[in-house]
């Protein structure tokens, strides 16, 4: 049981200047929650921000009532709807109703594979600016089987929440980031359309941090919490050598076996569980984590400085997990086609799924609890597509087998421009109303989200 107060504060992110933030519990990122598989956790959120909020546990297998539907608001104190008996309150001034909306209890069964989850704001139309101002935090789920593997742990396991932000001269976060120099996608006129980018890269809320490490293996739990920025990460030593990124897990937990990458693309909301071995780096040497897609200062992400030799009791077993679902195409009772494309809406420009912007009153996809489905997703530009409630496997990309970084169980798949991909999943867990959407947070706010009803 946890209590988190959402409140405004300022923090020194850039040296010598205070940045106003919206936070969970006064920090950015919010407090990291660590849970055990199958042990339910209740988090009471109290909203002391000036706006309504919604909390979603990304990657959580959560009953719909606690999944953070975009209109299930936690109202702030003094919000007009509370005082006027607005129709959302049933027209009644029930003091208990008022009370439950100033705080809200979210209950997470966490009956799922251990992995790195994250919680973030999910209010309809305003998710992107809320995350940008700081409403994001990590939630790790563990179990005994994973603990027994012997992967690097304790101070040698590092959660890394990567995000970009733009700052004004007074230290405030700039949203949208209007500086044309920040716009790395040519031809984009609207400040929001492609998604908002920043020119400062933060890891766990700190700009380009340098972390001291022993010359041993480390486990890096990487999350791309950026609104719109894609990264292709590599680990480079001072003398230009690339260290292997040994992937042991994906969005939804451990792989069956490790996969070695020279570099690794990561789209918004994706997670990778990586092991990096610093034992070949001389004491005093540095390993930079670089974004190959960035330029200038957005090329650097963070660095590790190797400070001493040390004993390494960790290992990376050849078999990591045996419980990965292996649904086959022939298991599917349904195949759906879904397009993720720009289009016109209300005379303006929007991001649409199957030609439609998000409407909380419309059911877009209905499935039955326990059904296996194949979804064929097609994109115009980059769209990281995320499903609530379930993990899925990537079956194909562009008619070809999935890429090495598609391994394992995912909850977000990065569709590349013009690409069609197939995913397969079983809709088990809970009945109710869930979502799927693009996790470019601006695309999501501009309509690229739809309802999934599990009956």
Residues that bind Cu ion (CB under 5 A): 58, 383, 388, 438, 440, 443
Tokens representing residue 183 in the block: 């716009």
Q: Which is nearer to Cu ion, 277 or 411 (CB)?
A: 411
410 binds ligand C2O (CB under 6 A): no
Closest CA to 376 of 335, 328, 417, 325: 335
Binding residue (CB under 6 A) for ligand C2O from 386, 393, 410, 443: 386
Q: Choosing among Cu ion, ligand C2O, none, which partner's interface includes residue 224 (Cβ < 5 to 8 Å by kind)?
A: none
**Can you spell out the DSSP letters for 18-48?**
-EEEEEETTBSSEEEEEEETT--EEEEEEE-
Distance (Å, whole) CA 62 – CA 390: 9
Reply yes or no: is the peptide bond before residue 451 cis, omega within 30 of 0. no
Looking at 122-178, which runs of residues are DSSP E strands?
A: 136-142, 157-165
* H helical segments located in 60-189: 80-84, 95-102, 127-132, 144-147
Name the one range near ligand C2O by CB under 6 A: 41-49, 186-194, 201-209, 435-443: 435-443
269 binds ligand C2O (CB under 6 A): yes
Q: Choosing among ligand C2O, Cu ion, none, which partner's interface includes residue 61 (Cβ < 5 to 8 Å by kind)?
A: none
Name the one range near ligand C2O by CB under 6 A: 171-179, 300-308, 393-401, 432-440: 432-440
Q: Choosing among ligand C2O, Cu ion, none, which partner's interface includes residue 229 (Cβ < 5 to 8 Å by kind)?
A: none
Binding residue (CB under 6 A) for ligand C2O from 320, 435, 446, 452: 435
Helix H or strand E segment including 303: strand 300-308
Instruction: Tell me which DSSP letter residue 343 carries.
Output: E
Q: Choosing among ligand C2O, Cu ion, none, which partner's interface includes residue 438 (Cβ < 5 to 8 Å by kind)?
A: Cu ion
**Can you spell out the DSSP letters for 213-233?**
EESSEEEEEEEE--SS--EEE
388 binds ligand C2O (CB under 6 A): yes
Helix H or strand E segment including 445: helix 441-445
At closest approach, how far in Å is the CB of 454 from ligand C2O?
15
Site residues for ligand C2O, 22-51, by CB under 6 A, read none
At closest approach, how far in Å is the CB of 388 from ligand C2O?
6
What are 102's strand-pairing partners?
A: none
56 binds ligand C2O (CB under 6 A): yes
Tokens representing residue 164 in the block: 């970009």
Handedness of CA 295, 298, 302, 303 (dihedral sign): positive
276 binds ligand C2O (CB under 6 A): no
At closest approach, how far in Å is the CB of 31 from ligand C2O?
18
- The number of angstroms, rounded, from the C-alpha of 27 to the middle of its chain's C-alpha atoms is 18
Nearest residue by C-beta to ligand C2O?
Answer: 58
Q: Which is nearer to ligand C2O, 332 or 435 (CB)?
A: 435
Q: Which is nearer to ligand C2O, 215 or 385 (CB)?
A: 385
Would you give the binding string for ligand C2O spanning residues 117-156, x where CB under 6 A is met? ---x-x----------------------------------
Name the one range near ligand C2O by CB under 6 A: 135-143, 209-217, 349-357, 433-441: 433-441
Would you give the binding string for ligand C2O spanning residues 215-254, x where CB under 6 A is met? ----------------------------------------
The footprint of ligand C2O (CB under 6 A) covers: 56, 58, 120, 122, 269, 386, 388, 435, 437, 439
């Amino acid at each position: 049981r946890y209590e988190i107060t959402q409140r405004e504060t300022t923090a020194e992110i850039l040296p010598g200047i205070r940045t106003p933030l919206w936070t969970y519990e006064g920090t950015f990122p919010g407090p990291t929650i660590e849970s055990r598989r199958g042990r339910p956790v209740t988090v009471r959120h109290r909203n002391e921000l000036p706006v309504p909020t919604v909390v979603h546990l990304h990657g959580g297998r959560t009953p719909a009532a606690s999944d953070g539907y975009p209109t299930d608001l936690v109202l702030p104190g003094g919000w007009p709807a509370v005082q006027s008996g607005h129709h959302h309150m049933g027209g009644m001034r029930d003091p208990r109703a008022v009370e439950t909306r100033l705080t809200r209890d979210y209950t997470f069964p966490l009956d799922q594979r251990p992995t790195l989850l994250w919680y973030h704001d999910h209010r309809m139309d305003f998710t992107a600016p809320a995350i940008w101002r700081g409403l994001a935090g990590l939630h790790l789920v563990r179990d005994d089987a994973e603990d027994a593997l012997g992967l690097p742990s304790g101070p040698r396991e590092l959660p890394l929440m990567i995000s970009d932000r733009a700052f004004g001269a007074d230290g405030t976060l700039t949203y949208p980031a209007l500086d044309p120099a920040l716009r790395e996608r040519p031809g984009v006129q609207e400040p929001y359309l492609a998604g908002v980018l920043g020119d400062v890269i933060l890891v766990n809320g700190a700009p380009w941090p340098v972390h001291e490490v022993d010359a041993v293996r480390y486990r890096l739990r990487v999350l791309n919490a950026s609104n719109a920025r894609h990264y292709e990460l590599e680990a480079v030593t001072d003398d230009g050598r690339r260290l292997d990124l040994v992937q042991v897990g994906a969005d939804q937990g451990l792989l069956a076996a490790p996969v070695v990458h020279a570099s690794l693309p990561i789209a918004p909301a994706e997670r990778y569980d990586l092991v990096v071995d610093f034992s070949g780096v001389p004491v005093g040497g540095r390993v930079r984590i670089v974004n190959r897609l960035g330029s200038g200062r957005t090329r650097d992400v963070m660095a590790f400085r190797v400070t001493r030799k040390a004993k390494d009791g960790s290992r990376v077993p050849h078999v990591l997990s045996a419980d990965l679902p292996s649904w086959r195409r022939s298991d599917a009772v349904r195949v759906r086609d879904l397009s993720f494309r720009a289009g016109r809406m209300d005379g303006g420009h929007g991001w649409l799924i199957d030609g439609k912007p998000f409407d909380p009153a419309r059911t877009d996809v209905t499935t039955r609890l326990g059904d296996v489905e194949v979804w064929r997703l097609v994109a115009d530009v980059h769209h990281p597509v995320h499903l609530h409630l379930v993990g899925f496997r990537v079956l194909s990309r562009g008619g070809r087998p999935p890429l090495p970084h598609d391994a394992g169980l995912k909850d977000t798949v990065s569709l590349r421009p013009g690409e069609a991909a197939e995913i397969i999943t079983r809709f088990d867990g809970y009945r109710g109303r869930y979502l799927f959407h693009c996790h470019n947070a601006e695309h999501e706010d501009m309509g690229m989200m739809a309802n999934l009803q599990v009956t």
